[in-house]
Amino acid sequence: MIKTLKALSPALAALLALCPAPASAAPAEVKVALVVPLSGPWARQGLLEREGAEMAIDDINAAGGIKALGGARLKLIVADTGDSPEKAKNAAQRLVAQEPDLVGGVGSWLSSFTLAVTEVTERAEIPWLTLSYSDQITSRGFHYVFQTSATGDRQAELALPTILALAEAASEKKPATTAIVMDNTAAPVSFVKPMLNGGFEKAGLKLLVDEVFTPPLSDATPIVAKLRNARPDFLFMITTAVPDDSLLLQKMTEMGVPASRLPLIGNGGHLATPELLKVTGADILEDVMVTLANWSTRDQGDLIRRFKKRTGEPWLGQDSLCAYGHVWILKDALEMAGAADRRKVGAAIHAMDTTESSAKFFAGGHIKFDASGRRIDAPLVIVQWQKAQPVTVYPPQSAQAKAVWATSR
């Protein structure tokens, strides 16, 4: 006779964990959290995530809520990480203490913040979905953290040969030298690691400049002077904050090394935001390429139109789209679990293997996670600023335009 769930085999226990609860036990509302920077230098990215998450909540509730829970409505509980990992951790601790019935959460955009927040949410066994890139996020043996983006190191492994192939196709010349300018937060460190650990050498590239700064950047002049003197064939600008992006790009233009002459590759959704266009200008951004984990496509036309009308944003980019999709993953997990129970929701996410529903909001169109919480086969996406718009140039099947290698114009 079975006395407790712990006495069952792991496989049978996992199956029973997903068994629906009786309809009479269904709550009227189910709380999910969003923890993102809403103040400080990363606030713009947090706002974009919030816009996507709020739209997903409204869309799900308008469509009947969580059907397995009798139509229970989702409620979004929002917390601000502030501008440091310590503040992010404190925000998560307050959230867990004040909202004991949370079933899951999304955020925290900057990898350093996500690392801090998930230390708290893992102990509370709250399933957490993030677009953050650092490989450390899902290499700590955690059970309740899920990373829908390809990790920074995986993106770098994919990006380097892809960028070189795009360069050679567009300019009929393979680059021989490169440079790195980066901040020292977790995602950039993760991104450049495989390049510095043999990637450049394997690709036949010589690294001429390797500059690291602590954000916020106060003066870009010394960095840009080194770039101007070294004259690399292209530049990896691996930053995380719009103010630093703008400062570097404007100083490069001022000192005669604009992106229209020095091909520039960035990483992360902050480099493809309307805010950067406003503070930097279309001429300065022209030709800048950005490697990403996700971007909206032509197939999402209705979603894009509704998002633009609702928010006033000129496009639906990675940050908002991922947050929208993360809420849908939690919705799908609740339907599978049939209970507003965070542990069962976590088990349901681990069991997901779908190309439907929430999968339609992520590049690659497939949601399945490995045991560490990393999304299996998460692809690389590249957009390029062309005529004041970030347009997809890779992968080819979803490209909206051909990539331009600046020096080949």
Residues forming a β-bridge with 337: none
Closest CA to 138 of 371, 346, 345, 325: 371
Domains 5-150+298-368 and 153-292+381-408 alike in fold: yes
- Among candidate residues 343, 175, 339, the one with its CA nearest the CA of residue 265: 175
- DSSP assignment letter at 388: T
Q: Higher confidence at residue 93 or residue 18?
A: 93
| Residue 237 to residue 220: CA distance in whole angstroms | 12
Residues 131-143 have a mean pLDDT of: 96
Query: For residues 45 and 323, what is the distance between their CA atoms, to the nearest angstrom?
Result: 11
Is 121 a residue whose pLDDT tops 90? yes
Does the pLDDT at position 172 exceed 90?
no
Residue 66: predicted pLDDT: 98
Q: Using one digit for the tens of pLDDT, what is the confidence trace for 222-250?
A: 999 999 999 999 999 999 999 999 999 99
Mean of pLDDT over the chain: 92
99 SS3 class: coil
> Are the C-beta atoms of 224 and 196 separated by less than 8 Å?
no
List pLDDT tens digits, range 37-71: 999 999 999 999 999 999 999 999 999 999 999 99
Query: Against a cut of 0.75, is the pTM above it?
Result: yes
The highest-level CATH class for domain 5-150+298-368 is alpha beta
Q: CA 230, CA 254: separation in Å to the nearest integer?
A: 17
CATH no. for 153-292+381-408: 3.40.50.2300
Give domain limits for the chain. 5-150+298-368, 153-292+381-408
pLDDT one-digit tens code per residue, 339-379 = 999 999 999 999 999 999 999 999 999 999 999 999 999 99
The pLDDT score that the predictor gives to residue 298 is 81
